[in-house]
Every structure is written in C-alpha cells, then in structure tokens.
C-alpha cells in the first residue's frame, strides 16, 4: 500500500512538472529562437549570364538560325543594289528589312548601308580602306572606326572576357561587339538594376521587435 502511494505521488509530480513546462512554453516564458527568414532568390533575369543579343558568330557557334545572313536567297548577285534615300538623307528601308532600326550615332550620316556592307558582295562587310570581313568577324569592322574601344576590348577592359585564366588550359573568349551592340542601333539598351543585398541582420532586429513589442 505504501508503495502504491509513493508511485502516485511520483506520477502526480511528473505530470505537474510537464504541465508546468507546457504552460511555460505556451506563455513563451523563455522566448523562442528567431524564425528563419526565407530569402527570396533573385529573379532569373538578374542571374542570367547571356549577353543581350546573339552576334553572327554566336549564332554560328551555337548552330542557331543564320538564314538572315544568306542575302542571296532574295538578292541577285548580278544586279547592282541601290539604296533609296529620303529628302533628309535617311535610308528608305525595303519591306523585308523594315524591322531594322537604323540609329548609329546622333545624326544620320553613319547610316548608309554600304558604309559597312559590301555592295559587290552582300554577304560580307567592308570598310572604306577596302578590307573585307565575314559577318563573323564584325568586331574588326567596328574596330576600324572605334579604335579606342577596340583597343580596350582587345586587352579586356571593354566588353566581356570568358574562358581560362591559365592559358595553358585553354583560350580566352572575348564577346563580339555585336553580342552586346546592335550594329544598326548600337546604343546599349538601358537595364533594370538588380535587387540590393539582403539586409538579414536588420530583418532579425525587426522580427525581434515584433516578438517583444
């Protein structure tokens, strides 16, 4: 009988102890560890490492659609192609080229098609000095007028460099000018700024204030 009484006392003791603990937890006597703040990932547009456009060389490399560079599917190699200009000297674009926006520089003196395209071989580029380039070599065309930018690009302070630091393991790759600039309207498009850094430490202070107002 005494053993039974002892047992009940112990059990009641344990039960009261647990009830007390439960009450303490419910009343949050010792506080709770701060809840983990879930940090939203930056939108993919800010982590995407692709250049803003694909140059002719990029399209060839990635086996993309290069049909736009086959001029002689429409043009006749034997016929002299003329460029029509309006009274302001701006090029009047033919229907198939309507999507081209010509805006190279602040005036229209740089917009005649044959400043860059070879009138005798449409599938190549040509500069005044007579050098001829393939569409995939367009950076050299740009360099013929933009010497300082081209030199900066060659040494890696303009544009983008990828590939290997250790040249023994592989070459470096410089993005073409036309991977970033549309040759017909080269001004770089405005970009939306990415989100700022996450203020994790401040969030902690705010959520602590919410817990103990």
Q: Min. distance of Cβ 114 from ligand HEC in angstroms? A: 7
Q: How far is the CB of 192 from ligand HEC (least distance, A)?
A: 14
Which residue, 37 or 173, has its beta carbon nearer to ligand HEC? 173
Q: Residues interacting with ligand HEC, by CB under 6 A?
A: 51, 55-56, 68-69, 71, 73-75, 81, 83-84, 91, 93-94, 96-97, 100, 102, 104-106, 110-111, 113, 115-117, 122, 125, 135, 138-139, 141-146, 149-150, 153, 158-160, 175, 177-181, 183-184, 186-188
Give the nearest distance from C-beta 112 to ligand HEC in angstroms: 6
- Least Cβ distance, residue 178 to ligand HEC (angstroms): 4
Could you tell me the CA-to-CA distances from 29 to 7, 24, 113, 207 in Å, in that order?
Answer: 30, 5, 79, 17
């Amino acid at each position: 009988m005494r053993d039974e009484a002892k047992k009940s006392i112990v059990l009641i003791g344990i039960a009261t102890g647990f009830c007390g603990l439960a009450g303490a937890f419910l009343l949050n006597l010792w506080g709770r560890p701060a809840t983990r703040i879930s940090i939203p990932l930056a939108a993919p547009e800010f982590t995407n490492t692709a250049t803003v456009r694909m140059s002719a060389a990029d399209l060839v490399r990635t086996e993309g659609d290069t049909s736009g560079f086959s001029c002689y599917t429409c043009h006749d190699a034997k016929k002299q192609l003329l460029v029509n200009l309006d009274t302001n000297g701006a090029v009047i674009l033919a229907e198939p080229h309507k999507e081209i926006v010509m805006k190279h520089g602040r005036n229209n003196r740089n917009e005649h098609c044959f400043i860059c395209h070879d009138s005798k071989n449409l599938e190549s580029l040509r500069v005044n000095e007579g050098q001829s380039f393939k569409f995939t070599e367009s950076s050299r065309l740009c360099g013929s007028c933009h010497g300082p930018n081209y030199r900066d690009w060659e040494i890696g302070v303009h544009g983008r460099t990828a590939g290997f630091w250790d040249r023994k393991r592989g070459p470096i790759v410089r993005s073409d000018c036309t991977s970033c600039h549309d040759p017909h309207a080269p001004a770089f498009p405005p970009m939306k700024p990415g989100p700022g850094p996450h203020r994790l430490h401040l969030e902690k202070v705010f959520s602590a204030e919410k817990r103990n107002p």
